Structure 1
Amino acid sequence: MNRKTALLVIDAQTGIIEGMSHDPVYQKEALLQTIHSLVTQARSRNIPVLYVQDLDVAPEGDPAFAIHPSIAPAPHEPVFRKKATDAFHGTDLHERLQEIGIDHLVIAGCKTEYCIDSACRRATTLGYDVTLVGDGHSTNDSSVMPAESIIAHHNRCLHGLSNLEPFVVVRTSAEDVFAPIHDFYRTHE
């Protein structure tokens, strides 16, 4: 089946990544390098890149609110601003993806247990196959477990998660994440 892919970069904002009010996210430099590589690859392959910003991070115009400068959107790349952890709730993200015929999302960004998890789950219920870049999302330590464990836990829980027909596959950035492998799994069940 022929798929149309987009890269969705969620909440990769300076205030989250750098931790302006608290600690930076786990392995922030590696995260930024991975997302930068994904964005560069997508642009070179004419794959749409879309960004999401969380309105709760900081006031608009504050440097902490901005998408991290090392992975900032190009002028033509849309940015969706959200109030909820779900990138689709209260935004026109789904409508925009439908307009351009997207049926496969590659997801990266912050924070693993909140907005990344929510976006992956909601995307499948909206009909998108999802590739979560396993080394392309991050978070902070919690009072219950360290960030590294939160990331590993979510990679494990989300891999293979399906709602109806679409599902999530977790792959590393070393793989060609823009070439979906969902249909391979469907034909080899």
Structure 2
Amino acid sequence: MSGNATALIIIDVQNNILLGSDPRGVETLAALDAMVHRLAALADRARAQGVPVIHVQHDGEAGHRLEKGSEGWKIRAELGPAAGEPVFNKSACDAFLGTGLEALLRERSIGHLIIGGCMTPYCIDTSVRSAVAHGFDVTLLADGHMTCDIGALRFEQIIAHHNQILDGFPVGPHKAQVRPSADFLA
């Protein structure tokens, strides 16, 4: 991968991302709101420093909580793309699969991605691993990704687990690291 420029990639922070998916509702939504607040602050800082902010948006099928074109599908207002910021639409967990994201990153000589968003065990995990496999170095924001309770696991456990297993994830000379958003907001 040539280039060492950085981009902030925000994945699937859409209005209905957690709608109806978690029996702990209020607690989970409060954690989601806190994560969105951190990502919004980081996006503002990135913009102020000239770091590209790139959005990825899931296109759900008819009847899905993220049905393309619905209110639930829209990117949350706090993170709404600024003028000129690219939005890549996807229909699978991988932000790179069939989206044009990789081509844009290479065109701009971006080699380091800071990633945050939803949902941790699906689109975040898959996209982090895919980014590294495509030759990018990745920083996953430890407190900048979110999910809901799944089965017997609470969302906090799922996030902690992925922070642990993705930190240091290597493919050849490239790897992922996990750092708190405060490291970029100081």
TM-score of the superposition, structure 1-length normalised? Answer: 0.88
Shift of 1:150: 0.1
Question: Where do 4+ consecutive residues of structure 1 move more than 2 Å?
Answer: 19-26, 57-61
1:40 partnered with 2:9: no
Percent identity between matched residues is 40
Structure 2 unaligned segments of length 5 or more: list them.
none
Aligned length: 175
Which digits, 9 at most, give the CA deviation of each residue in 1:2-60, with x for residues without a partner?
720000000011111xx333345460121111110110111000000000011125222
Q: What letter corresponds to residue 53 of structure 1 in structure 2? A: Q
| TM-align CA RMSD | 1.6
Structure 1 unaligned segments of length 5 or more: list them.
178-189
Shift of 1:124: 0.6
Q: Secondary structure at the match of 1:38?
A: helix
Aligned to 1:54: 58
Aligned to 2:21: 22
| Higher fraction of strand | 2
Question: Within 5 A, what are the aligned runs for 1:149-164?
Answer: 149-164=157-172
Is the CA contact (8 Å cut-off) linking 2:55 and 2:81 kept in structure 1?
Answer: yes
**Alpha-carbon distance in structure 2 between the residues aligned to 1:10 and 1:166:** 21
Aligned to 2:91: 83
Aligned to 1:3: 4
Question: Within 5 A, what are the aligned runs for 1:1-189?
Answer: 3-16=4-17, 19-23=18-22, 25=28, 27-56=31-60, 57-176=65-184
Shift of 1:90: 1.1
Q: What letter corresponds to residue 95 of structure 1 in structure 2? A: A
Q: Secondary structure at the match of 2:170?
A: coil
**Alpha-carbon distance in structure 2 between the residues aligned to 1:162 and 1:44:** 31
**Alpha-carbon distance in structure 2 between the residues aligned to 1:75 and 1:168:** 29
Is the CA contact (8 Å cut-off) linking 2:21 and 2:148 kept in structure 1?
Answer: no
